Structure 1
């Protein structure tokens, strides 16, 4: 098993009993920052080590270096800004060297930020650097440019006790589990959808080459038509129970939003899986892309540009069912044309289920289709 990114797994979780005096009285005297769901997930990912080596939100130097060069100031490869934005009133209330109390989206005290720096930034210029465009029709650009005008850098400290759900396996825990299973090599797979036959084919092809598979749905901000979290998790439970060998697959989650940063996000997601203990990470065509903003192979070729980051990318294109081959294939092993190929489509499957139509077992396993159909509110409503 490889070391965490930059050699050290961050742990910013503390026992709240050790901070009882501050919780009872000091927190009320500090400036407060109320986190939305996205920032709440960022804080937890920092504190549990998923974002190692980050120990908090970026200061100006790391922020600028990340946006321009995809590295931290010390040269460590890091492709995406991880920042805490505040408005001008809140910025004026924050002072370097002091604490700010952090509250979760439900208003509960989560921990605190040790403020290092408060600074302004150029949204459009940064968006161009990170996303390759400043077009507000790009959802990642639009989300970034809708942030407040000031950023706060500083280390986070989080009170132990919160779990997203029972599948919230922290990096320190997944690393112990992989060792218990005797896995020296582990491939990570990220998804935002319930599994179809194409996902299964890619996962099993990768699993042939390693000891174990970590499946991690990315659970974060959703749009209308997306699968609900419990439907995705339940679909993978069905797949693993019926179609995978025992003790060769671990189902966990990555609680985080999509940033739609294309190739940069592919590197970001690979680093997160490296911290979880993976030695390999599956990268599909146009990973984290949106529309036509990125070349379909950019999420593959970026790994040639950045060099070795301590995790091996496994590069895949579309998988499909070939009627001539009578099985799941990829273009690397199938000689037939598109007229013989049935491409599993999450959109098509979703429309069939919503319209009460039957689904093909060539696209999705019957157990998973039944699970989606039987669930209450399988999809996010508009």
Structure 2
């Protein structure tokens, strides 16, 4: 089984006895109410999905990640995992003491051992992390909307938390892969309902691995992205109809979309490494948005960083070709663009939004029917992404 990133799977979920001790220590002291995204990060830290990180980043780690894509100890880590608070909360926090963490439902879920409270230069950070300060970029806008103070220190959760019933924690996925005798596992990241190009790439990856982990990223997304429940239901439909039994594991990655392009591709690969994957699929414009990144920048970045211990699988454009009479890719198809039907995610969402079923050359009919029968398939200002269960 592949080693977790940094060599050890972090486990910051404490037993009942220590949880009671922590509750007594924090008493009526300061508390921090977590947003959904902060709560997701807490789950991911405590259950090892973000190994080797064991808490929200302190200032030295934060600066190293932003500027060098490594932690202070030299381990590759591309995105800052931070806990932002306003000035009122910051004033109540004392390094060396603990603060209570509360879920979005205002339930006490754990504590943070405060090591530092520090200000961050948001304008500088977005330039490095996103490569732009343009506030039309949704990741930039979200980051600039953070509070001015960051709290760093290890966390401890009182209980094991899951984003929903499909949340297969890293320790569990590793047991599952071992039980199924999967020595090699390809991880697939998505924020969309599956179309034919996704299926083609996934099955191509399965030709190189014993099993496939399909793990949609569920959490805060921009308007017009698919809602969480839509993505999961669509994948359940595809797997049931078009995959051999026992070849695919469907889980979730509870995390906001940061739209950080190449950096997020490295981040997503590390997460799948911690889940137990040996390979990770990197397609066109991974975690990109608009025209902010080169369409294959997310693949090229793997050549620019130290080996992170998981093998990236690079894929070109996939599409249906009338002359080939099937799904293929730019790498192997000799025919002209007039013969090609590209299953564009934005085009499919537009068709569904207009009540028109996408062509079977773009999306499996069972999947399209499922999505079209969902009352609110897409994120809107009024329709939430999904929910913590």
TM-score, normalized by length of structure 2? 0.95
Say if 2:328 is the partner of 1:335: no
The match for 2:55 is 56
CA contact (8 A) 2:316 2:331 kept: no
Q: Residues 187 and 357 from structure 1, CA distance in 2 versus in 1: closer, same or farther, beyond 3 angstroms?
A: same
1:298-313 equivalences in 2 (<5 Å): 298-313=297-312
Task: Give the C-alpha shift of residue 297 in structure 1.
Answer: 1.7
The alignment partner of 1:144 has SS state of helix
The alignment partner of 1:49 has SS state of coil
CA offsets 1:50-105 (integer angstroms, 9 cap, x no match): 10000001111101111111101110001111111112221121111100000001
Task: Give the C-alpha shift of residue 138 in structure 1.
Answer: 1.9
Task: Give the C-alpha shift of residue 261 in structure 1.
Answer: 1.0
CA offsets 1:30-52 (integer angstroms, 9 cap, x no match): 10100011111111110011100
The match for 2:6 is 6
Residues in 1 aligned to 2:221 and 2:304: alpha-carbon distance in whole angstroms: 31
Task: Give the C-alpha shift of residue 275 in structure 1.
Answer: 0.2
The match for 1:158 is 157
* Total equivalences in the alignment: 381
Residues in 2 aligned to 1:209 and 1:28: alpha-carbon distance in whole angstroms: 53
The alignment partner of 1:74 has SS state of coil
Task: Give the C-alpha shift of residue 239 in structure 1.
Answer: 1.0
Residues in 1 aligned to 2:228 and 2:170: alpha-carbon distance in whole angstroms: 21
**Structure 1, gaps ≥5 residues long:** none
The match for 2:73 is 74
The match for 1:34 is 33
Residues in 1 aligned to 2:285 and 2:222: alpha-carbon distance in whole angstroms: 19
Say if 2:376 is the partner of 1:377: yes
The match for 2:346 is 347
Task: Give the C-alpha shift of residue 252 in structure 1.
Answer: 0.3
Task: Give the C-alpha shift of residue 227 in structure 1.
Answer: 1.7
**Structure 2, gaps ≥5 residues long:** 382-389
Which range moved further: 28-37 or 248-257? 28-37
Residues in 2 aligned to 1:338 and 1:212: alpha-carbon distance in whole angstroms: 33
1:68-147 equivalences in 2 (<5 Å): 68-147=67-146
Residues in 1 aligned to 2:260 and 2:272: alpha-carbon distance in whole angstroms: 17
Residues in 2 aligned to 1:134 and 1:156: alpha-carbon distance in whole angstroms: 31
Task: Give the C-alpha shift of residue 164 in structure 1.
Answer: 1.6
1:262-281 equivalences in 2 (<5 Å): 262-281=261-280
Say if 2:285 is the partner of 1:286: yes
Residues in 2 aligned to 1:352 and 1:128: alpha-carbon distance in whole angstroms: 35
The alignment partner of 2:53 has SS state of coil
Task: Give the C-alpha shift of residue 357 in structure 1.
Answer: 2.0
CA offsets 1:183-227 (integer angstroms, 9 cap, x no match): 010000011111110100000011101100000010011333222
- Provide the alpha-carbon RMSD of the alignment: 1.3
Say if 2:45 is the partner of 1:43: no
Task: Give the C-alpha shift of residue 18 in structure 1.
Answer: 3.7
Q: Residues 350 and 127 from structure 1, CA distance in 2 versus in 1: closer, same or farther, beyond 3 angstroms?
A: closer
The match for 1:167 is 166
Q: Residues 290 and 353 from structure 1, CA distance in 2 versus in 1: closer, same or farther, beyond 3 angstroms?
A: closer
CA offsets 1:136-159 (integer angstroms, 9 cap, x no match): 222212211221111111001012
Which range moved further: 121-130 or 78-87? 121-130
Task: Give the C-alpha shift of residue 22 in structure 1.
Answer: 4.8
Residues in 1 aligned to 2:312 and 2:77: alpha-carbon distance in whole angstroms: 16
Residues in 2 aligned to 1:227 and 1:52: alpha-carbon distance in whole angstroms: 28
Task: Give the C-alpha shift of residue 350 in structure 1.
Answer: 2.3
Q: Residues 46 and 311 from structure 1, CA distance in 2 versus in 1: closer, same or farther, beyond 3 angstroms?
A: same
Residues in 1 aligned to 2:369 and 2:135: alpha-carbon distance in whole angstroms: 39
Residues in 2 aligned to 1:204 and 1:214: alpha-carbon distance in whole angstroms: 12
1:193-342 equivalences in 2 (<5 Å): 193-342=192-341
Which range moved further: 252-261 or 347-356? 347-356
Which range moved further: 158-167 or 283-292? 158-167
